[in-house]
Amino acid sequence: MSTFDETTGQVAPIAAVHQRGRGYDGHWALVWQKFLRHRLGVAGGIVVILAYIVALIPEFLAPVTLEAYNPSYSYAPPQAIQWGRDDGEGWRFLPHVTAYKTEIDYNSGRRLFVPDPETVIPIGFFVQGEPYRLLGLIPTDRHLFGAVEAGQPFFLAGADRLGRDILSRTIYGTRISMTIGLIGVALSLVFGILIGGISGLFGGVVDNLIQRFIEFIQSVPAIPLWIGLAAAIPQSVPPLQVYFLITIILSVLGWTSLARVVRGRFLAMRSEDFVKAARLDGCGPVRIIFRHMLPSFLSHIIATVSLAIPGMILAETALSYLGIGLRTPIVSWGVLLQEAQNVRTIASAPWLLLPGGAVVIAVLALNFLGDGLRDAADPYSD
Amino acid sequence: MGSFMLRRIIYVIPALIAVSLISFLVIAIPPGDFVTRTAELRAAQGDIMPIAEQDAMRRAYGLDLPIMVQYWNWITGVLTRGDFGYSFSFNLPVKDVIWPRLGLTVVLSVASLLFIWVVAIPIGIYSAVRRYSAGDYLATFLGFLGLAIPNFLLALAVMYVAFAWFGMNVGGLFSPEYLEAPWSWDRVLDLLNHLWLPMIVLGTAGTASVIRVIRANLMDELHKPYVTAARAKGKGEFGLLMKYPVRHALNPFVSGQNDIFVEIVSGGTIVAIVMGLQTTGPLLLDALRTQDMYMAASFILMLSVLVVIGTLLSDLLLAWLDPRIRYQQG
């Protein structure tokens, strides 16, 4: 394999290309080295890994459980953490938040929460709280942080209509929101590789038909169709099944871009020398695809997949926000945003938009990661 | 050009047939119909609807026929008489409801598209020419943010800012006094007064992607020999930029307009629901919830037709702009 240099018009010998690595690095080592040079991509990757860690152990990271509620703290505003306290004998270190006093605003007739500096709620790391099973296995009651005395009001990001902690619920929502993208994309990938592979492998009429079909699907406005399909799920279907139905609905229209990438790679690679060599060596088509072709375009598939996940997350959030996607007790960021239905509610409790911030960060990080991976997927070009 | 146009227009026909089938089947195949939904609603109010009455209602609406017969009746009505069927929940022919809404949808979509062009093309050119300048980084950052914020969240945030900081209630496309008024200059001005906000909300994602496309393509063109040649002949820098590399860089931009228009029409549905616009979105959602079959199918059909026509126009534009395409395919 040799590369053509456009500026000098020279064909660079193989050795020169490989000097970019250490000369003896394999494909994946080169991909990894190129990815590390894309700093935004690396940063995005770290955020994505953190998000999936949160998705794995929300019970430990969240101060309270999903079900914890207290109607007397309805729409309580976020508390500020204070690091110490002056108790007459001088300042001493005591991380805490303060409790609320309620006041009635006689102009609007609304109940207002004001911080009550007299009542101190000490907070700390690894506090005892509601018992749960870590990873579904290890029984424990420790939470990463929270009020030292369980049950006291601790709302770092405010509370919703029923007095539930927004921060804890957003942490729990990570699990569903981050996995629905993964499962949706995995389904799309199956469709995409199958159909794109058939299209690229057979070529001719089959390829033409499949390409027209893909163009057609891409030209249908997705959101009205998604709304149509999602609204067709009866109310009586249990929430877990709704979750799977929604992933199927998302991937019904989502597989096309993956199919195009796979087909393009198949077409480009069909005439490569190493594929020809494998065929001359007497390899069957299955062995050629999985042993010789797939490894060399796997990096492209990974990049396309990571760019497809954010679209799924955005679609799920939008559907759930409209009330036709996921339903409680399953909690995703979109389900949480349902609380922010109208402007007046948001104006009086802007912290309800916190799950939206989580969506933006997740999508941004996945986009950066995908960009970095896409650049790294082809480590031989510059 | 003529034969290319003809081919391209003929290709629209199977696309339209498929679109009409999909929009109808999405609504008709899932279990339950308007009658069962009505019966559920009545039952919730403690009023049980007898099976006989349900069947009579089904017969009256033609819901007892096989699905393909229903589809045939509906689509022939649409094609021959412009009759989109009957809206059960409005008790009106669908066509009376759909046209004004569709008109506003077109206005909003086209306005958003123009907004994207006006904003994104200059910024994209600037970003490419002043690569790695502060302005380029700012544009790239805002571009990424624009892609990452879901439309409906942006709509919520904009409405919140307008309400909390400026005391404005920015939902809808008209002030209350013009809502039902007949068309007049004042009503058009009122519409323009309300249109810019949803237009910006809907345009952000598209703007972000157009900036990226133009920046990437223009950067490839800027260092080609023909640019150096023109510069060596003494052509002014700005005229040179506009005359050669920008025109080259616009081709991929034009071919990307399909996807952007699909995104606008598609995303417009949700923005309209959140901001309470008098376009197709909110009614489509209501129709789907109440299983108002013909209404929902007609909305999805017409939105798809809008997209198919938009795609056709942009393909023709591209063929006119770039001769290689019409020679290759025509």
A151 vs A121: CA distance, rounded Å: 11
- Whether the per-residue pLDDT at A121 is higher than 70: the answer is yes
User: What does pTM read for this prediction?
Assistant: 0.80
User: Could you tell me which residue, A109 or A194, shows the higher pLDDT?
Assistant: A194
The mean pLDDT of B278-307, rounded to a whole number, is 83
Q: Is B167 left (phi over 0), alpha (psi -120 to 50) or beta?
A: left
Say if CB B139 and CB B123 are below 8 A apart.
Answer: yes
Helices (H), A288-353: 294-321, 333-337, 343-348
Confidence tier at B99 by pLDDT (50, 70, 90): confident
- Most confident option among A356-365, B141-150, B285-294: A356-365
The answer on pLDDT for A15 being more than 70 is no
Which tens digits make up the pLDDT trace of A150-206? 777 777 777 887 778 888 888 888 988 888 888 888 888 888 878 877 777 777 788
Residues 304-323 of B with CB under 8 A from A: 304, 307-308, 311
The answer to whether B214 touches B131, Cβ cutoff 8 Å, is no
What are the CA-CA distances from residue A60 to residues A141, A166, A355 (Å)?
Answer: 8, 16, 19
Q: State the nearest Cα–Cα gap between A86 and chain B, in angstroms.
A: 36
CATH no. for residue B177? 1.10.3720.10
**Residue B13 counted as domain residue:** no
More confident residue, A379 or A176: A176
Contact A224 B144 (CB under 8 A): no
Contacts of A321 in chain B (CB under 8 A): 152
pLDDT surpassing 50 at residue A16? no
Whose tokens are 């389904």? That residue is A187
- How far is it, in rounded angstroms, from Cα B276 to Cα B279? 8
Closest CA in chain A for residue B308: A219
Q: Which residues of A touch B150 (CB under 8 A)?
A: 314, 317-318, 356, 359-360, 363
Taking 80 as the threshold, does the pLDDT of residue A108 lie above it? no
Q: What is the residue range of B157's domain?
A: 94-289
**CB within 8 Å: A224 and B266:** yes
CB contact under 8 A, A318 and B152: yes
Q: Is the separation of the CB atoms in A153 and A167 below 8 Å? A: no
Q: How confident is the model at residue B115 (pLDDT cuts 50, 70, 90)?
A: very high
Q: Which tokens hold the place of A38?
A: 């894309």
**Would you say residue B301 lies in a domain?**
no
Domains belonging to chain A, first-starting first, are 43-56+170-376 (1.10.3720.10), 67-164 (no CATH)
Residue of A nearest to B158 (CA): A343
* Interface residue of A214, A215, A220, A245 to substitute, partner B, most B CBs within 10 Å: A220
| A303-307, B204-208, B216-220: the lowest-pLDDT one | A303-307
Inter-CA distances, B161 with A98, A357, B157, Å: 29, 16, 6
In angstroms, rounded to a whole number, what is the distance separating the alpha carbons of residues A345 and A377? Answer: 46
Residue B206 lies in a domain: yes
Residue A22, pLDDT > 70, answer no
pLDDT at A109: 67
**Pairwise CB contact (< 8 Å): B307 & A368:** no
Crossing angle of helices A166-202/A354-376, nearest 10°?
A: 30
Q: With 0-12 CB in 10 A as exposed, 13-18 as middle and 19+ as buried, what is A180? A: buried
pLDDT of residue A10: 52
Q: How far apart are CA A360 and CA A370, in angstroms?
A: 15
In a domain? residue B6: no
The pLDDT score that the predictor gives to residue A1 is: 41
Q: State the pLDDT at residue A2.
A: 46
What distances in angstroms separate CA B117 from CA A36, B10, B111, B123, one per listed residue? Answer: 35, 29, 10, 10
Q: Which residues of A touch B144 (CB under 8 A)?
A: 364, 367-368
The answer to whether B148 contacts A367, with C-beta atoms less than 8 Å apart, is yes
A314 contacts in chain B (CB < 8 Å) = 150
In a domain, B245, yes or no: yes
Split into its structural domains, chain B has a count of 1
Q: What six digits make up the tokens of A114?
A: 């004001």
